[in-house]
Amino acid sequence: MKIGVVGASGYSGGELLRLLDNHPIFAASYIAAGTQAGSSITSVHSGLLSYSGRNFEATDVSKINACDLVFFALPHGESAKLIAEVKNEVKIVDLGADFRLSSAASWEKYYGGKHAGTWTYGLAELPGNREKISKARHVANPGCYATSISLASAPAIAAKIINAQDIVVVAASGTTGAGKKLSSSLMASEVMNSLSSYKFGGVHQHTPEIEEALAALNGGEVKISFTPILAPMPRGILTTVTSTLTNTSLTTTDVHKLYREFFQNEKFVTVLPEGQMPSTSSVLGCNYTQLQVAVDQHTNRLIVSCVLDNLGKGAASQAIQNANLMVSLPEETGIDSLGLGA
């Protein structure tokens, strides 16, 4: 298949190129990067030696329209401008936020500007989503934090064992989650040996996305209080989700069984054995997610720990998982390798 990658000079775009190089069906024939057009791909992504001799092309709608499927890896608000000119028959996976939300009011509050519309939400592990993705021509790839928090919360929400309006999240992400835009707060001398919160006070843009995804399981309103943390590492997310249990008799073993059964047929989600904690290094460079659960009987709260790679399951490999489903390939095609860590 003729595949395009628009926004290929960014971190997610580079990860897409790396993964597509090993995909048996998808070939990245059109590789565009607006600000880097004309530059060699290896001058930006030095590890992608198989792309030696190829340059980034300019963003050109006519070339996008010549593709079978296109990945858009652009900053939020940029995809919609281009996609309005793309033929409907071109299949698209958008890694940006432009089409994730169903609420125009939430888009305006958290992102600003006009809401572009709503596409099929590409988190296949949530009940009913896989079938919708398989039939879709346009899919909105979830945000990295949203993927982690939604997977950590979904089994408890679906089983109604927690108060869906009392979910507290603290999550730490590597610096690639902020993209390549120059910022003094992302300089190595500022980030190394330091942790800091950002978008403090419930203003992170993934908040409405998570609430919408989980509300579909709950059949009612979901509220989360989300505090993100910038961690001194390039990639990876560690999420801790706590919520009030509605049943005081539940034990860790009970909830662990519930989570195992919920994800028992999901290749890319692993509920670790009781007592084994997830680590970001274990999922580095792959599409896998690891979870652990515990019941804090002292406070009657459920605690869930979740890790994933923000450039993998949080972006590029999840986008390929969605694209596989959209063209009736096994969803693990080209992305079934394990993580690189211990």
Mean pLDDT of the chain: 94
Q: Are residues 44 and 101 in the same domain?
A: yes
Q: Are residues 168 and 268 in the same domain?
A: yes
SS3 332: coil
Q: Are residues 10 and 125 in the same domain?
A: yes
Q: Are residues 136 and 236 in the same domain?
A: no
Question: Does residue 281 register a pLDDT over 80?
Answer: yes
Tell me the mean pLDDT in the region 9-22. Answer: 96
* pLDDT for position 317: 98
Q: Are residues 159 and 304 in the same domain?
A: yes
Structural contact between residues 286 and 339, judged by C-beta atoms closer than 8 angstroms = yes
Task: Tell me how far CA of residue 251 lies from CA of 66, 70, 240, 245, 300, in angstroms.
Answer: 55, 46, 18, 10, 10
- Would 211 be classed as within a structural domain? yes
- The CATH code of the domain that includes 290 is 3.30.360.10
- Would 97 be classed as within a structural domain? yes
pLDDT digits (tens, 9 = 90+) for 61-88: 999 999 999 999 998 889 998 999 999 9
Q: ∠ CA 276-282-283 to the nearest 5 degrees? A: 120
Q: What DSSP character marks residue 282? A: G
- Would 339 be classed as within a structural domain? no
- Would 121 be classed as within a structural domain? yes
- pLDDT band at residue 181 under the 50/70/90 scheme: low
- Would 207 be classed as within a structural domain? yes
DSSP annotation string for 75-105: -TTTHHHHHTTS-TTSEEEE-SSTTT-S-HH
Q: Are residues 130 and 11 in the same domain?
A: yes
**Which one from 67, 144, 286, 306 is the annotated catalytic residue?**
144
Pick from 32-36, 128-132, 191-195: least confident: 191-195
* pLDDT for position 79: 92
- pLDDT band at residue 268 under the 50/70/90 scheme: very high
Q: Which amino acid is at 124?
A: A
Pick from 76-90, 280-294, 311-325: least confident: 76-90
How many whole angstroms separate alpha carbon 150 and alpha carbon 157?
Answer: 10
Question: Does residue 192 register a pLDDT over 90?
Answer: no
CB atoms within 10 A of CB 47: 9
Q: Are residues 34 and 133 in the same domain?
A: yes
For β-strands 120-121 and 91-94, DSSP reports them as unpaired
Total number of domains in the chain = 2
The domain in which residue 218 lies consists of 145-308
Q: Are residues 67 and 186 in the same domain?
A: no
- The CATH code of the domain that includes 46 is 3.40.50.720
Radius of gyration, alpha carbons of the chain: 19
Burial group, residue 266, by CB count within 10 angstroms (0-12, 13-18, 19+): middle
Q: Are residues 292 and 189 in the same domain?
A: yes
Q: Are residues 129 and 184 in the same domain?
A: no
Q: Are residues 60 and 168 in the same domain?
A: no
- Would 230 be classed as within a structural domain? yes
pLDDT digits (tens, 9 = 90+) for 142-156: 999 999 999 999 999
Active site includes 306? no
- Would 231 be classed as within a structural domain? yes
pTM, two decimal places: 0.95
Considering only CA atoms, which of 222, 110, 233, 108 is closest in space to residue 169? 222
Q: Are residues 41 and 90 in the same domain?
A: yes
* pLDDT for position 48: 96
Interacting residues of 231 by C-beta distance below 8 A, sequence separation 6+: 172, 173, 174, 175, 195, 238
* pLDDT for position 341: 72
More confident residue, 149 or 175: 149
Q: How much of the chain exceeds pLDDT 70, in percent?
A: 98
- Would 331 be classed as within a structural domain? no
Residue carrying the six token digits 């940006």: 96
Q: What DSSP character marks residue 51? A: G
* pLDDT for position 342: 56
Residue carrying the six token digits 């001398």: 189
